[in-house]
Each structure stands twice: as C-alpha cells, then as structure tokens.
C-alpha cells in the first residue's frame, strides 16, 4: 500500500511539474475604459492608468515607435487589414497596453506581465463602430507591487515537484522498500 502511495505521489509531482512548465501566460484580458484619457507621451499615458512602470513606448501605425525601443527589447505588432485590431508579442513581460482609437482608449492590464496577446481593439466610438487604432502604448518593467513575480512559475512548480518526490522517497525508504 505504501509503495502505491509513493508511486502516486511521484507521478502527481511529475504531472504538476509538466503542467506548470506548459502554462502559457498572457491570455486575453478584459479591457478597462480610461475616462478623460489624454494622449501624450508614453510615460504619461501609462501613469494615467495607474501602471507605474520603468519603461514605456508608443507605437503609431505608419509612424513607428516613440521613443525608440531600448536595446534588447522587441515588441512586434500585427495590425488587422482594416486597422481596427491587432496582435502583439514581446520579449519582455508587458504590464499594461493602452489602445487609442477615436475619442477614447482601452487599458489592458496583465497581472504578472504577458509576452503576447491577440485581438486588442480601441473602444467603440459614439456611433457604436470600432475605430481604427490610432496608437498603442506599451508599459513594462513594473515594480513588485504590480504583481510581477520574482520567480518564474515553472521554477516554483519544479521545486514543489522535487519536494514531493523526495517525500515519496523517504516514505519508501522508511518502509524499507528502498535499500539504503
């Protein structure tokens, strides 16, 4: 019976580790309206949302990045053919994305950061149409109070799995199923 329990613990620990490693972060989030949004430089736009970040850059379709992306940072945007939505990927965890189109803006907050998302749009205009995206602001490098973990989820999951496997080993050893 103890051998079965130990085997079950080991199998569970391995499964937990594999599930944790395969977890994809950055799924779509529900946008929030920004009342009285004032377009401006990227840092001020991030501040309007309450997203306190070290870095901010604004992308304007047809105009590029302002300011330029820092060395080593890559953010790619794929705009839809009608210009009303886009997908993005990044090599750094993005905390916030602001999408401006028409008179208003949406704020997409990624607790813990995200490295991609799809189908982002600006809010519908007073005529209930989705306007073309006029610009997108990315905010990243948020301090710990913005919920970005210091340890990757896979590392935490692997640590739990190792501890569980060691516990199973000790259980088997105590029952003398495993020689010393």
What is the average per-residue pLDDT within 5-12? Answer: 42
Decide if 162 contacts 12 (C-beta within 8 A): no
Decide if 51 contacts 140 (C-beta within 8 A): no
* CA atoms lying within 13 Å on the CB side of residue 132: 8
Confidence (pTM):
0.64
Q: What's residue 114's pLDDT?
A: 92
Q: What's residue 35's pLDDT?
A: 72
Confidence of residue 159 (pLDDT cuts 50, 70, 90): low
Residue 82 is encoded by which pair of tokens?
A: 């009608």
């Amino acid at each position: 019976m103890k051998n079965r329990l130990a085997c079950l613990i080991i199998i569970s620990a391995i499964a937990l580790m594999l599930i944790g490693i395969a977890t994809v972060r950055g799924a779509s989030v529900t946008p929030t309206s920004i009342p009285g949004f004032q377009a401006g430089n990227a840092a001020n736009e991030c501040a309007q949302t309450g997203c306190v970040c070290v870095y901010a850059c604004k992308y304007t379709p047809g105009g590029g990045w302002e300011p330029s992306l820092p060395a080593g940072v890559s953010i790619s945007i794929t705009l839809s053919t009608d210009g009303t939505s886009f997908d993005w990927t990044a090599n750094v965890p993005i905390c916030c994305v602001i999408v401006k189109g028409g008179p208003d803006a949406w704020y997409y907050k990624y607790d813990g950061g995200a490295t991609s998302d799809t189908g982002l749009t600006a809010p519908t205009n007073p005529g209930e149409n989705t306007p073309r995206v006029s610009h997108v602001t990315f905010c990243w490098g948020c301090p710990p109070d913005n919920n970005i973990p210091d340890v990757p989820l896979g590392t935490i999951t692997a640590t739990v799995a190792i501890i569980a496997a060691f516990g199973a080993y000790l259980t088997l050893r105590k029952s003398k199923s495993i020689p010393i």
